[in-house]
């Protein structure tokens, strides 16, 4: 007997907000591919792409009346996760409701305590665990002994099974079941702000990360890679079957093994595959030769996390990079005519008005093509979370009923709202500069991307909000 399994990709925010990009939910499509191999009927609801309203979400879940509902948990949208679990339970009281993902994996017991309708948490990488979980549901078996699962037993007790070993041979996994979201591809709902053509695609070529930055919720340190030949095969499929001409490599760090990355570039050059792509690197890995080869292969954007232009804060973050390396990396990427995206985290322990101003000055001086500046989120079980909890500077806790995100108290910040205002100040100091105004204005004027125009208008509205009083006095805003 095959089962009906519904995999739900939640909206990225609890309120309407234009995102920098929208990609197919590869985590769910990998799971869907395995379940289809077992003969199950799989449906993927990509709410983040369709952005349908609450009434339509309820209608879709009710109509499915699935045997298993599963969706990833994200701390930032815990209230949405709670709402989805309640809708699924109402649609089919006998269904198994499952959550997973990097947000749930470190805190499975807490998740089950806070989400009474959820039956099980899948910890870690979920493909093989979900496959066994659905097989057990099909046979009428329970979840005792199912590796990688924390579940609610019939008597209400929470049971945590042993962890499932990570998959070392990523080439064993089937390609993601992109056909499960074919409608989203056909409607051009997958996009990237700086790419005019739709749809865009995503690919995962490695898992894990050999580094351990203090704010990162990645808990898998063992770095595993797919073969360059398998990567080329999937990229060819996406171009020929899905009509994709731009792909983002969604790895945490594509270049952890630079020799493999260069082999991928060489294969793309040899095959003359007309794919443009973006990937994440670390500043120390950026060299003229590497960027030149990447560009020949089709790279149009290279991104890396600078996080802060204060070396002491980088040390506290355990970034293992220097401010000078980051500046040099930006210069090399830009010199080769490749877009350089850099990300920054505001509000890490040790942040002061002076360090924030230093970071803004760094951005203005180095001129990366695109920039994101985010307020620190102390995710559960991260080093910064434990540090802040131990020294009493953690404010708030992650919960589906929270009214604001947890944050880390700083001597010059009184409220979390002040952190958001500091972020908006930094954004305004960057994006209102002639360099960025001219760059994005030119793209918008040429009609390259209407979503880009709406996104910039949204960010501008945020940036001109009133500034915080305390920080204004401290930094001279």
Provide the residue-wise pLDDT of the chain in tens; the chain has 477 residues.
799 999 999 998 765 556 667 999 999 999 999 999 999 999 999 999 999 999 999 999 999 999 999 999 998 899 999 999 999 999 999 999 999 998 899 899 999 999 999 999 999 999 999 999 999 999 999 999 999 999 999 999 999 999 999 999 999 999 999 999 999 999 999 998 888 889 999 999 999 998 889 999 876 668 999 999 999 999 999 999 999 999 999 999 999 999 999 999 999 999 999 999 999 999 999 999 999 999 999 999 999 999 999 999 999 999 999 999 999 999 999 999 999 999 999 999 999 999 999 999 999 999 999 999 999 999 998 999 999 999 999 999 988 888 888 999 999 998 999 999 999 999 999 988 888 878 777 666 655 555 665 665 665 565 555 444 333 333 334
Q: Positive or negative, the Cα torsion across 76, 77, 81, 82?
A: positive
Q: What's the pTM value of the predicted model, to 2 decimals?
A: 0.90
CATH class of 170-475: alpha beta
d(CA 162, CA 316): 33
- Tokens 């074919």 sit on residue: 182
> Taking a C-beta distance cutoff of 8 angstroms, is the pair 339, 194 a contact?
yes
Record: fold of 4-160: Rossmann fold (3.40.50)
Q: How many whole angstroms from its chain centre is CA 280?
A: 12
Give the 3-state secondary structure of residue 135. Answer: helix
Report long-range pairs for 226-232 (Cβ below 8 Å, ≥24 apart). 226/170, 226/171, 227/171, 228/260, 228/263, 228/264, 228/267, 229/267, 230/171, 231/203, 231/205, 231/264, 231/267, 232/264, 232/267, 232/268, 232/271, 232/273
Q: What is the pLDDT of residue 475?
A: 39
Kindly give, in sequence order, each residue whose CB lies less than 8 Å from that of residue 208, ignoring residues fewer than 6 positions away. Answer: 166, 218, 220, 221, 222, 223, 224, 252
User: What is the rounded CA–CA span in Å between residue 459 and residue 137?
Assistant: 46
pLDDT at 195: 86
* Domain regions of the chain by residue span: 4-160, 170-475
C-alpha–C-alpha distance, residues 457 and 419, integer Å: 21
Q: How is the beta sheet containing 246-249 ordered, strand by strand?
A: 201-203, 246-249, 276-280, 299-307, 339-346, 370-375
Give the Cβ contact number of residue 350 at 10 Å: 15
pLDDT at 193: 80
């Amino acid at each position: 007997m095959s089962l009906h399994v519904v995999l739900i990709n939640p909206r990225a925010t609890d309120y309407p907000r234009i995102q920098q990009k929208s990609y197919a939910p590869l985590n769910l499509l990998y799971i869907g591919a395995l379940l289809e191999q077992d003969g199950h009927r799989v449906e993927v609801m990509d709410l983040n792409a369709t952005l349908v309203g609450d009434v339509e979400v309820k209608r879709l879940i009710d109509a499915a009346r699935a045997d298993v509902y599963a969706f990833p948990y994200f701390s930032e949208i815990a209230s949405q996760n709670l709402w989805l679990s309640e809708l699924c339970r109402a649609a089919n009281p006998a269904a198994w409701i499952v959550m997973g993902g990097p947000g749930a994996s470190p805190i499975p017991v807490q998740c089950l305590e806070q989400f009474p309708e959820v039956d099980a948490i899948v910890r870690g990488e979920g493909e093989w665990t979900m496959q066994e979980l659905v097989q057990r549901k099909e046979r009428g078996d329970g979840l005792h002994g199912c590796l990688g699962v924390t579940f609610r037993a019939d008597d209400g007790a929470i049971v945590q099974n042993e962890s499932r070993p990570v998959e070392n041979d990523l080439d064993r996994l089937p390609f993601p079941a992109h056909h499960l979201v074919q409608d989203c591809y056909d409607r051009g709902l997958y996009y990237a702000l700086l790419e005019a053509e739709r749809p865009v695609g995503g690919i995962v070529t490695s898992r894990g990360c050999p580094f351990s930055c203090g704010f990162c919720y990645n808990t898998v340190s063992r770095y595993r890679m797919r073969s360059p030949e398998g990567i080329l095969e999937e990229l060819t499929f996406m171009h020929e079957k899905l009509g994709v001409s731009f792909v983002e490599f969604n790895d945490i760090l594509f270049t952890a093994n630079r020799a493999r990355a260069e082999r991928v570039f060489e294969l793309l050059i040899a095959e003359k595959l007309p794919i443009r792509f973006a990937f994440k690197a670390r500043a120390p890995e950026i060299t003229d030769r590497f960027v030149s080869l990447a560009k020949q292969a089709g790279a149009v954007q290279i991104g890396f996390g600078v996080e802060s232009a204060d070396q002491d804060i980088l040390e506290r973050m355990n970034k293992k990079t220097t401010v000078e390396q980051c500046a040099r990396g930006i210069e090399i990427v830009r010199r080769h005519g490749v877009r350089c995206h850099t990300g920054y985290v505001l509000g890490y322990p040790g942040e002061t008005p002076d360090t924030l101003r230093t970071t803004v000055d760094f951005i203005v001086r180095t001129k990366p093509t695109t920039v994101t500046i985010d307020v620190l989120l102390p995710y559960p079980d991260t080093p910064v979370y434990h540090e802040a909890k131990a020294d009493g500077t953690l404010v708030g806790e992650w919960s589906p009923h929270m009214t604001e995100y947890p944050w880390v108290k700083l001597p010059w910040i009184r409220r979390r709202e002040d952190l958001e205002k500091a972020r908006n100040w930094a954004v305004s100091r960057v994006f209102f500069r002639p360099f960025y105004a001219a760059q994005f204005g030119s793209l918008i004027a040429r009609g390259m991307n209407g979503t880009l125009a709406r996104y910039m208008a949204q960010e501008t509205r945020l940036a001109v909000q009133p500034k915080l009083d305390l920080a204004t006095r401290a930094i001279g805003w």
